Amino acid sequence: MAAKTERTFIAIKPDSVQRGLMGEIIKRFEQKGFRLVFIKVASEDLLKQHYIDLKDRPFYPGLVKYMSSGPVAAMVWEGLNVVKTGRVMLGETNPADSKPGTIRGDFCIEVGRNIIHGSDSVESANKEISLWFKPEELVSYKSCAQDWIYE
């Protein structure tokens, strides 16, 4: 692949897991051509650390309670412009502002249950990935479809 790839952090939130949407969300990233590098389930302590920058906000306790109410599938995806493209695929933070065809536009209604998190920049992605995953957990491989996706 000639172009430089990057990695992003995507978390499928408890409401997605409970509603059986994990497969559909993973499918969309795979069909786009991105590679899944690793996936695991989160702990409450890790969730508190992930949202530490929001700890002084009034919604922080409710956010941590919601995020730890069930399984969270934390993933790393790799590909060309995966951060920016991933954010477009997710839709707006507020589902009411999300276009049909986006994950949030298709599957959710309220911002408090917006089913998925995605890094908003390469810097955030690197920070979130290093918080959630050890370097040795992440795999690197070349998909046999790579030459059909990238020039």
pLDDT at 1: 42
13 is in an annotated binding site: yes
Identify whether 40 is part of a domain: yes
**Dist. CA 7–CA 34, nearest whole Å:** 10
Strand runs labelled E in the chain: 6-12, 35-41, 73-79, 116-118
Mean pLDDT of 101-113: 96
The predicted structure's pLDDT at residue 2: 44
- Secondary structure (DSSP) of 10-28: EEE-HHHHHTT-HHHHHHH
104 part of a folded domain: yes
Range of the domain at 74: 7-137
Annotated ligand binding at 93? The verdict is yes
Rounded Cα–Cα distance for residues 127 and 137 (Å)? 15
- Determine the average pLDDT of the residues in 41-53: 86
As a whole number, mean pLDDT of residues 10-38 equals 95
Residue 144 pLDDT greater than 90, yes or no:
no
The reported pLDDT for the residue numbered 42 is 79
Strands 35-41 and 73-79 come out as: antiparallel
pTM: 0.86
In CATH, what number is assigned to the domain containing residue 42? 3.30.70.141
In this prediction, residue 3 carries a pLDDT of 58
Q: Is residue 14 part of a domain?
A: yes
The answer to whether 27 is a known ligand-binding residue is no
Over residues 58-68, the mean pLDDT reads 90
Which of 37, 90, 117, 128 is labelled catalytic?
117
Chain segment 67-105, per-residue pLDDT in tens: 888 889 999 999 999 999 999 999 999 999 999 999 999
| 50 belongs to the catalytic site | no
Report if residue 114 sits inside a domain: yes
As for how many domains the chain has, the answer is 1
Q: 149 lies in a domain?
A: no
